[in-house]
Amino acid sequence: MKFFLDTANIDEIKKANDMGVICGVTTNPSIIAKEGRVFEEVILEIASLVDGAISGEVKATTIDAQGMIEEGRKIAQLHKNMVVKLPTTTEGLKACKVLSSEGIKTNLTLIFNVPQAILAARAGATYVSPFVGRLDDISMNGIDLIKDISTIFKIHNIDAKIISASVRNATHVIECAKAGADLATVPYSVIEQMMKHPLTDQGIEKFQKDYRAVFGE
Protein backbone atom coordinates (compact mmCIF):
# COMPACT_ATOMS: atom_id res chain seq x y z
CA MET A 1 0.00 0.00 0.00
CA LYS A 2 1.24 3.46 -0.93
CA PHE A 3 0.53 6.81 0.74
CA PHE A 4 -0.87 10.16 -0.19
CA LEU A 5 -0.76 12.99 2.32
CA ASP A 6 -4.23 14.38 3.04
CA THR A 7 -3.47 18.05 3.57
CA ALA A 8 -2.73 21.37 1.87
CA ASN A 9 -0.34 22.41 4.62
CA ILE A 10 3.01 23.11 2.94
CA ASP A 11 5.16 22.46 6.03
CA GLU A 12 3.60 19.04 6.55
CA ILE A 13 3.87 18.20 2.85
CA LYS A 14 7.58 19.15 2.85
CA LYS A 15 8.24 17.01 5.94
CA ALA A 16 6.48 13.89 4.57
CA ASN A 17 7.95 14.38 1.10
CA ASP A 18 11.48 14.75 2.48
CA MET A 19 10.99 11.45 4.32
CA GLY A 20 10.29 9.80 0.95
CA VAL A 21 7.11 8.13 2.15
CA ILE A 22 4.42 9.78 0.02
CA CYS A 23 3.63 9.46 -3.67
CA GLY A 24 1.07 12.24 -3.85
CA VAL A 25 -1.25 14.62 -2.03
CA THR A 26 -5.01 14.81 -1.67
CA THR A 27 -7.02 17.89 -0.80
CA ASN A 28 -10.69 18.60 -0.29
CA PRO A 29 -12.69 21.82 0.17
CA SER A 30 -12.33 21.71 3.99
CA ILE A 31 -8.57 21.15 3.74
CA ILE A 32 -8.15 24.06 1.30
CA ALA A 33 -10.37 26.33 3.45
CA LYS A 34 -8.27 25.46 6.54
CA GLU A 35 -5.15 26.95 4.91
CA GLY A 36 -7.08 30.11 3.90
CA ARG A 37 -5.19 30.35 0.60
CA VAL A 38 -6.25 30.67 -3.04
CA PHE A 39 -6.90 27.16 -4.43
CA GLU A 40 -4.78 27.47 -7.59
CA GLU A 41 -1.84 28.99 -5.69
CA VAL A 42 -1.66 26.30 -3.05
CA ILE A 43 -2.17 23.50 -5.60
CA LEU A 44 0.67 24.81 -7.77
CA GLU A 45 2.96 25.08 -4.75
CA ILE A 46 2.15 21.48 -3.79
CA ALA A 47 2.77 20.31 -7.37
CA SER A 48 6.15 22.05 -7.37
CA LEU A 49 7.16 20.09 -4.25
CA VAL A 50 5.72 16.60 -4.79
CA ASP A 51 6.34 14.57 -7.92
CA GLY A 52 3.14 12.55 -7.81
CA ALA A 53 -0.63 12.64 -8.13
CA ILE A 54 -2.22 15.77 -6.64
CA SER A 55 -5.99 15.58 -6.06
CA GLY A 56 -7.78 18.91 -6.33
CA GLU A 57 -11.52 18.91 -5.75
CA VAL A 58 -14.15 20.87 -7.63
CA LYS A 59 -15.78 23.61 -5.54
CA ALA A 60 -18.11 22.29 -2.84
CA THR A 61 -20.76 24.65 -4.20
CA THR A 62 -20.57 23.25 -7.74
CA ILE A 63 -23.29 20.60 -7.84
CA ASP A 64 -24.12 20.24 -11.55
CA ALA A 65 -22.20 18.00 -13.96
CA GLN A 66 -21.53 20.75 -16.51
CA GLY A 67 -20.04 23.01 -13.82
CA MET A 68 -17.89 20.14 -12.52
CA ILE A 69 -16.69 19.34 -16.05
CA GLU A 70 -15.66 22.94 -16.72
CA GLU A 71 -13.91 23.26 -13.36
CA GLY A 72 -12.37 19.81 -13.72
CA ARG A 73 -10.80 20.75 -17.05
CA LYS A 74 -9.28 23.87 -15.45
CA ILE A 75 -7.95 21.86 -12.49
CA ALA A 76 -6.42 19.31 -14.88
CA GLN A 77 -4.66 22.10 -16.78
CA LEU A 78 -2.95 23.41 -13.63
CA HIS A 79 -0.28 20.67 -13.74
CA LYS A 80 0.38 17.33 -15.44
CA ASN A 81 0.01 15.47 -12.13
CA MET A 82 -3.45 16.78 -11.33
CA VAL A 83 -6.28 14.43 -10.44
CA VAL A 84 -9.77 15.93 -10.43
CA LYS A 85 -11.67 15.03 -7.28
CA LEU A 86 -15.42 14.75 -7.69
CA PRO A 87 -18.25 13.95 -5.28
CA THR A 88 -19.90 10.55 -5.76
CA THR A 89 -23.28 11.90 -6.78
CA THR A 90 -25.29 11.41 -9.97
CA GLU A 91 -23.85 14.67 -11.30
CA GLY A 92 -20.36 13.69 -10.15
CA LEU A 93 -20.60 10.43 -12.09
CA LYS A 94 -21.69 12.28 -15.24
CA ALA A 95 -18.72 14.61 -14.87
CA CYS A 96 -16.44 11.62 -14.23
CA LYS A 97 -17.59 9.96 -17.46
CA VAL A 98 -16.79 13.06 -19.55
CA LEU A 99 -13.50 13.97 -17.86
CA SER A 100 -12.25 10.35 -17.95
CA SER A 101 -13.07 10.11 -21.67
CA GLU A 102 -10.83 13.16 -22.17
CA GLY A 103 -7.96 11.35 -20.44
CA ILE A 104 -8.25 13.36 -17.23
CA LYS A 105 -7.57 11.41 -14.04
CA THR A 106 -10.38 11.43 -11.47
CA ASN A 107 -10.79 10.62 -7.78
CA LEU A 108 -14.37 9.92 -6.72
CA THR A 109 -14.78 10.94 -3.11
CA LEU A 110 -17.30 10.62 -0.26
CA ILE A 111 -17.82 6.90 -0.90
CA PHE A 112 -19.61 5.14 1.94
CA ASN A 113 -20.83 1.88 0.39
CA VAL A 114 -19.86 -0.76 -2.16
CA PRO A 115 -22.44 0.18 -4.83
CA GLN A 116 -21.10 3.76 -4.91
CA ALA A 117 -17.57 2.41 -5.42
CA ILE A 118 -18.65 0.12 -8.29
CA LEU A 119 -20.57 2.91 -10.02
CA ALA A 120 -17.65 5.32 -9.63
CA ALA A 121 -15.31 2.76 -11.20
CA ARG A 122 -17.74 2.06 -14.05
CA ALA A 123 -18.02 5.82 -14.74
CA GLY A 124 -14.26 5.77 -15.38
CA ALA A 125 -12.79 6.85 -12.04
CA THR A 126 -9.04 6.43 -11.74
CA TYR A 127 -9.35 6.35 -7.94
CA VAL A 128 -12.23 5.67 -5.55
CA SER A 129 -12.05 7.09 -2.04
CA PRO A 130 -14.07 5.22 0.62
CA PHE A 131 -14.13 7.08 3.96
CA VAL A 132 -13.09 4.77 6.80
CA GLY A 133 -13.09 7.10 9.82
CA ARG A 134 -16.41 8.76 9.11
CA LEU A 135 -18.09 5.32 8.94
CA ASP A 136 -16.47 4.32 12.24
CA ASP A 137 -17.75 7.63 13.67
CA ILE A 138 -21.33 6.45 13.12
CA SER A 139 -20.61 2.95 14.50
CA MET A 140 -20.31 1.30 11.09
CA ASN A 141 -17.21 -0.62 10.03
CA GLY A 142 -15.02 1.37 7.65
CA ILE A 143 -12.46 -1.41 7.26
CA ASP A 144 -15.14 -3.89 6.18
CA LEU A 145 -16.03 -1.48 3.38
CA ILE A 146 -12.41 -1.48 2.16
CA LYS A 147 -12.34 -5.31 2.30
CA ASP A 148 -15.58 -5.61 0.31
CA ILE A 149 -14.56 -3.11 -2.37
CA SER A 150 -11.15 -4.72 -2.71
CA THR A 151 -12.62 -8.24 -3.02
CA ILE A 152 -15.17 -7.17 -5.63
CA PHE A 153 -12.69 -5.11 -7.68
CA LYS A 154 -10.37 -8.13 -7.78
CA ILE A 155 -13.11 -10.61 -8.81
CA HIS A 156 -14.25 -8.33 -11.63
CA ASN A 157 -10.83 -7.03 -12.72
CA ILE A 158 -11.83 -3.45 -11.99
CA ASP A 159 -8.86 -1.16 -12.53
CA ALA A 160 -9.85 1.76 -10.31
CA LYS A 161 -7.40 2.17 -7.42
CA ILE A 162 -8.80 2.15 -3.89
CA ILE A 163 -7.67 5.04 -1.69
CA SER A 164 -8.58 4.54 1.97
CA ALA A 165 -9.61 8.02 3.04
CA SER A 166 -10.64 9.53 6.36
CA VAL A 167 -7.83 7.52 7.97
CA ARG A 168 -7.50 8.55 11.61
CA ASN A 169 -4.75 6.41 13.13
CA ALA A 170 -1.95 3.91 12.55
CA THR A 171 -4.25 0.98 13.30
CA HIS A 172 -6.49 2.09 10.44
CA VAL A 173 -3.41 2.05 8.20
CA ILE A 174 -2.56 -1.56 9.13
CA GLU A 175 -6.15 -2.70 8.68
CA CYS A 176 -6.56 -0.88 5.35
CA ALA A 177 -3.35 -2.49 4.06
CA LYS A 178 -4.59 -5.96 5.13
CA ALA A 179 -7.97 -5.24 3.55
CA GLY A 180 -6.35 -4.64 0.16
CA ALA A 181 -6.42 -0.85 -0.28
CA ASP A 182 -4.00 0.31 -2.98
CA LEU A 183 -3.33 3.56 -1.14
CA ALA A 184 -4.18 5.36 2.06
CA THR A 185 -4.43 9.11 2.22
CA VAL A 186 -3.36 10.15 5.69
CA PRO A 187 -2.92 13.34 7.69
CA TYR A 188 0.64 14.11 8.81
CA SER A 189 -0.28 13.18 12.41
CA VAL A 190 -0.85 9.60 11.23
CA ILE A 191 2.62 9.47 9.63
CA GLU A 192 4.02 10.61 13.00
CA GLN A 193 2.03 7.90 14.82
CA MET A 194 3.27 5.28 12.36
CA MET A 195 6.89 6.24 13.04
CA LYS A 196 6.73 6.25 16.80
CA HIS A 197 7.78 3.38 19.01
CA PRO A 198 9.04 3.85 22.57
CA LEU A 199 11.60 1.04 22.11
CA THR A 200 13.11 2.89 19.12
CA ASP A 201 13.53 6.03 21.27
CA GLN A 202 14.93 4.01 24.18
CA GLY A 203 17.26 2.14 21.80
CA ILE A 204 18.68 5.39 20.40
CA GLU A 205 19.19 6.72 23.93
CA LYS A 206 21.05 3.55 24.97
CA PHE A 207 23.23 3.51 21.83
CA GLN A 208 24.18 7.16 22.50
CA LYS A 209 24.92 6.49 26.17
CA ASP A 210 27.06 3.42 25.43
CA TYR A 211 28.90 5.19 22.59
CA ARG A 212 29.62 8.32 24.65
CA ALA A 213 30.85 6.25 27.59
CA VAL A 214 33.71 4.90 25.44
CA PHE A 215 34.26 7.46 22.65
CA GLY A 216 32.92 10.71 24.12
CA GLU A 217 30.97 12.96 21.73
Residue numbers annotated as active site: 85
Does 134 interact with ligand G3P (rule: CB under 6 A)?
yes
Does 7 interact with ligand G3P (rule: CB under 6 A)?
no
Query: How far is it, in rounded angstroms, from Cα 11 to Cα 16?
Result: 9
Q: Which is nearer to ligand G3P, 17 or 28 (CB)?
A: 28
Query: How far is it, in rounded angstroms, from Cα 31 to Cα 12?
Result: 13
Does 116 interact with ligand G3P (rule: CB under 6 A)?
no
Among residues 44, 94, 86, the alpha carbon closest in space to that of 62 is found at 86
The continuous run of DSSP H or E covering 153 comes out as helix 142-155
**How is residue 38 annotated by DSSP?**
-
Does 180 interact with ligand G3P (rule: CB under 6 A)?
no
Query: How far is it, in rounded angstroms, from Cα 117 to Cα 139?
Result: 20
Does 185 interact with ligand G3P (rule: CB under 6 A)?
yes
Instruction: Give the residue at shortest CB distance from ligand G3P.
Output: 166
Stretch that binds ligand G3P, among 10-18, 68-76, 94-102, 127-135 (CB under 6 A): 127-135
Stretch that binds ligand G3P, among 14-22, 41-49, 89-97, 130-138 (CB under 6 A): 130-138
